[in-house]
Amino acid sequence: MGRIRLHVALDCSGYSMETFILDNIEPASTIATDEWQSYNIIDTQQFRREITNQSKSKDYDKLYGAHLVTTLIKRLIRGTYQGRFEPKYLQNYLDEYVFRFNRRKSKSIGKKFMRIVQQAMKTPRIIWPDIPWDLDPLSEYFATTGVS
């Protein structure tokens, strides 16, 4: 398995699928899918699509990676977060998972650290008043007034 990309979709429509595909997959790539109707939006002029009917076919290798990653993310949510997390942070959790997964075979811890620093440098600067407070009112009061 190579690198992965994950994104929280607003819905399961073909438009959401098309947006993700155009933003993350190189033209002329092969996309392995099941027979789900929303994948019909894939432009066959730009991409090659391999369709696998999981209930009729015994060829599970084509979608093995997708099933593996889905299972591992479910395990992460049920195990690490005990099934309790804020949905508004789901993309952040997925981004962290992608970062870790894509670097799982890296031999150099220094390279991982360098990538974290590079991403931190690319992130737009946030000043104190711009931080969205989603704390409980008491914690927000102490954080914003400087009272400890």
Average pLDDT of span 76-86: 81
Q: Give the pLDDT confidence score for residue 81 in this predicted structure.
A: 78
Whole-model pTM: value is: 0.67
Q: At residue 147, does pLDDT exceed 70?
A: no
Considering the chain, what is the average pLDDT of its residues? 82
How many Å apart are CA 92 and CA 86, to the nearest integer? 10
Q: Give the pLDDT confidence score for residue 46 in this predicted structure.
A: 92
Cα 62 → chain centroid: 20
Query: In angstroms, what CA-CA distances link 32 with 49, 91, 140, 143?
Result: 6, 23, 47, 49
What are residue 50's DSSP bridge partners?
32
Q: At residue 142, does pLDDT exceed 70?
A: no
- What is the pLDDT confidence band of residue 133, given thresholds at 50, 70 and 90? low
Q: Give the pLDDT confidence score for residue 121 in this predicted structure.
A: 87
What phi and psi, each to the nearest 5 degrees, are found at residue 30? Answer: -95, 130
How many Å apart are CA 92 and CA 89, to the nearest integer? 5
Q: At residue 143, does pLDDT exceed 80?
A: no
131's tokens: 């931080």
pLDDT tens for each residue of 17-45? 888 999 999 999 999 888 888 888 888 89
How many Å apart are CA 65 and CA 5, to the nearest integer? 12
4's tokens: 């992965």
Q: At residue 138, does pLDDT exceed 60?
A: no
pLDDT tens for each residue of 82-101? 877 777 788 888 998 998 89
How many Å apart are CA 145 and CA 129, to the nearest integer? 12
